[in-house]
Structure 1
């Protein structure tokens, strides 16, 4: 299994997309899925902001790192609003789509701008170190949220 930060972040994005698909399908316990989504989003965001974004700033991508953190906070606000409403409520589906679109936009920016810049500027050994640090924070945050799982 790859251990570099870029691969781990991209893999985490795919996991979130699968949770979104389950949420959007309307099947299963949507409140539980929202809670899982919140735990995963928080863990991912904190791990990036603590380990990867400072390195992005060091390599001249300060604006992108700030924008990424702002997008994390926007997505978290939308998700908290979703968690406070009933999945059967009249506005739930629209807000869910707003949330999913906000995260997808962020993922696209990361995967087309930020992560390629990181890969280009940082040696492979350092990317592995960042991956270890990212995964450590992510797993710690998931454990705090009660999701002691890897993926």
Structure 2
């Protein structure tokens, strides 16, 4: 799997979890919020470690959250910016073979971090 596909697949998983969170209540909401935060931080770390170094850092200026912010909205903005601005650059800048290498690195890193956090590759059933 190439890096763009791996990242897009993970984006869909994050979106699904964010959607479930918006409809949840009580202890289910708390568990989903914790899972979304862990999964997003793992996703972000895997991108920054495996994929972003091949691109010009000027194109990846990090969005700084404000003092009061909604984490789900932050995840949605991250996905929108990345899919609109960053992934197209990656597709143009990197060969298909390198994209596959980056995809493998991204997935390996992401799965390892999720395992450390006690989560599986897909959204846990709650």
Give the TM-score normalised by structure 2: 0.86
User: How far is the alpha carbon of 1:26 from its aligned partner?
Assistant: 2.2
The match for 2:75 among 103, 106, 118 is 103
Task: Tell me how far apart the structure 2 counterparts of residues 144 and 74 of structure 1 sit (CA, whole Å).
Answer: 26
Report the equivalent of 1:5: 3
User: How far is the alpha carbon of 1:16 from its aligned partner?
Assistant: 0.6
Task: Tell me how far apart the structure 2 counterparts of residues 101 and 40 of structure 1 sit (CA, whole Å).
Answer: 15
Count of residues in correspondence between the two structures: 121
Task: Tell me how far apart the structure 1 counterparts of residues 65 and 115 of structure 2 sit (CA, whole Å).
Answer: 23
Determine if contact 1:5/1:127 at 8 Å carries over to the other structure: yes
Determine if contact 2:40/2:75 at 8 Å carries over to the other structure: no
Task: Tell me how far apart the structure 2 counterparts of residues 38 and 150 of structure 1 sit (CA, whole Å).
Answer: 14
Q: Are 1:40 and 2:39 an aligned pair?
A: yes
Unaligned runs of 5+ in 2: none
Give the TM-score normalised by structure 1: 0.73
Extract structure 1 runs of 4+ deviating beyond 6 A: none
Report the equivalent of 2:21: 23
RMSD over equivalenced CA pairs, Å = 2.0
Report the equivalent of 2:48: 49
Larger-gyration structure (1/2): 1
Matches within 5 A, 1:54-65: 54-57=53-56, 62-65=57-60
Determine if contact 1:42/1:141 at 8 Å carries over to the other structure: no
